[in-house]
Amino acid sequence: MTLLVTILGNNSALPAFGRHPTSQTVEVNGETILIDCGEGTQIQMQKYGIKWRRLNHILISHLHGDHYFGLPGLLNSMSLMGRTEPLHLYAPAPLQQILDLTMQVADSEFSYPFHFHPLPEGAQLLADTPYFKLSCFPVEHRIACHGFSIEEKTKGRRILPQMCVQYNVPLAFYNNLKHGAHFTTVEGVLVDNSLLTEAGPVSKRYAYCADTVFTDSYLPYIQGADTIYHESTYLNDSKDKAKVRFHCTAAEAAEQAKKANVKQLLLGHFSSKYKDLSLFELEAGAIFPNVVITTEGNTYEV
């Protein structure tokens, strides 16, 4: 069981100092989910060895260009490579018209079934697969914007092989055991599940808070997450600017992590006015100790 976040871009609107606009992948039980897709994402994916093959879900938080201008290129490239697996895109509704137009003017069609799922206004479960649960929740930005929550599914309870052999449990019943079923022997004896299995690993939860002003409104959706990625566009020196532009400072992001009682805080979406990021760690770390200043190409365990 692993839930891994790889940063492809952690800068805000303007690319600077080798930092790219927002994009990251989440690997969960062997599946890859892409969150936001700033310009250059497909090139960053190549650079950091992220395989398109396992990418079936893409999430776009909002329609500021630094969060989706890399999407048309990525979708096209997967088509040129002859992808046939369905692809699911969860994004603000107006993006569909933009994508339709780019395909129409190019006289092109995707090589794969493409499913566009417009994001709702509020919070909602978006997908429930055998590998993960995926939800969105509203945050507060200058335009409609969503955060996302990804919860891995564990494979259920862990089998105790010796006990199963002792009670002659057939292999075909193991999956039922994993999901908590009790077993009845051929002699009609009911064997409690707790004799045949032990607790499996706890499932982890990751929340991506997108671009947002400092507000309590989305705290219920990230409460108790193992790791959150939170924007920290500015330092304390630009607290007022952060508010006016519907962004947060590093200290505000740390406040949210503390209030939501999460275990780890990943910071990103740094303004291009900052070359050196060490103050982000200092200002956030004073409030919430387990903070990570993300670096592009690095992978973080949730």
Among candidate residues 292, 213, 223, 234, the one with its CA nearest the CA of residue 258: 223
Minimum distance between the CB of residue 151 and a copy of itself, rounded to whole angstroms? 29
List 167's β-bridge partners, or say none: none
Size of the site for a copy of itself (CB under 8 A): 37
Minimum distance between the CB of residue 210 and a copy of itself, rounded to whole angstroms? 15
Site string for a copy of itself, 49-78 (x = CB under 8 A): --------------xxxx--xx-xx--xx-
Pair of tokens at residue 18: 């080798």
| 21 contributes a contact to a copy of itself by CB under 8 A | yes
- Cβ pair 33, 134 in contact under 8 A: yes
- Residue 128 catalytic? no
The only residue of 101, 199, 244, 286 in contact with a copy of itself, by rule CB under 8 A: 101
Site for a copy of itself in 274-293 (CB under 8 A): none
Among candidate residues 286, 292, 228, the one with its CA nearest the CA of residue 256: 228
Minimum distance between the CB of residue 250 and a copy of itself, rounded to whole angstroms? 21
What is the rounded distance in angstroms from the CA atom of residue 95 to the CA atom of residue 136? 17
Minimum distance between the CB of residue 75 and a copy of itself, rounded to whole angstroms? 9
Neighbours of 199 (CB within 10 A): 10
List 159's β-bridge partners, or say none: 197
Between 15 and 200, whose beta carbon lies closer to a copy of itself?
A: 15
Site for a copy of itself in 209-228 (CB under 8 A): none
Pair of tokens at residue 68: 């989706």
Output the CA angle 26-293-261, nearest 5 degrees.
70
Between 141 and 157, whose beta carbon lies closer to a copy of itself?
A: 141
Using CB under 8 A, which of the segments 91-99, 111-119, 186-194, 256-264 binds a copy of itself?
Answer: 91-99
| 271 contributes a contact to a copy of itself by CB under 8 A | no
Among candidate residues 66, 79, 73, the one with its CA nearest the CA of residue 102: 73
Between 48 and 69, whose beta carbon lies closer to a copy of itself?
A: 69
- CA-based radius of gyration for the chain: 22
Using CB under 8 A, which of the segments 42-50, 193-201, 251-259, 292-300 binds a copy of itself?
Answer: 42-50
Between 25 and 149, whose beta carbon lies closer to a copy of itself?
A: 25
Using CB under 8 A, which of the segments 38-46, 170-178, 180-188, 283-291 binds a copy of itself?
Answer: 38-46
Among candidate residues 251, 245, 247, the one with its CA nearest the CA of residue 265: 251
| 244 contributes a contact to a copy of itself by CB under 8 A | no
> 34-51: buried (b, 16+ CB within 10 Å) or exposed (e) per residue?
bbbbbbbbbebbeeeebe
Minimum distance between the CB of residue 121 and a copy of itself, rounded to whole angstroms? 16
- Give the residue carrying structure tokens 């400072």: 249
Strands 55-59 and 31-37: parallel
Q: Looking at 36, 66, 211, 226, which residue is catalytic? A: 66
What is the rounded distance in angstroms from the CA atom of residue 150 to the CA atom of residue 132? 7
| 138 contributes a contact to a copy of itself by CB under 8 A | no
Among candidate residues 279, 275, 236, 197, the one with its CA nearest the CA of residue 16: 275
- Residues in the site for a copy of itself, rule: CB under 8 A? 13-16, 20-21, 39-40, 42-43, 46, 63-66, 69-70, 72-73, 76-77, 80-81, 92, 94-95, 97-98, 101-102, 104-108, 142-143
Question: Which residues are known to be catalytic?
Answer: 66
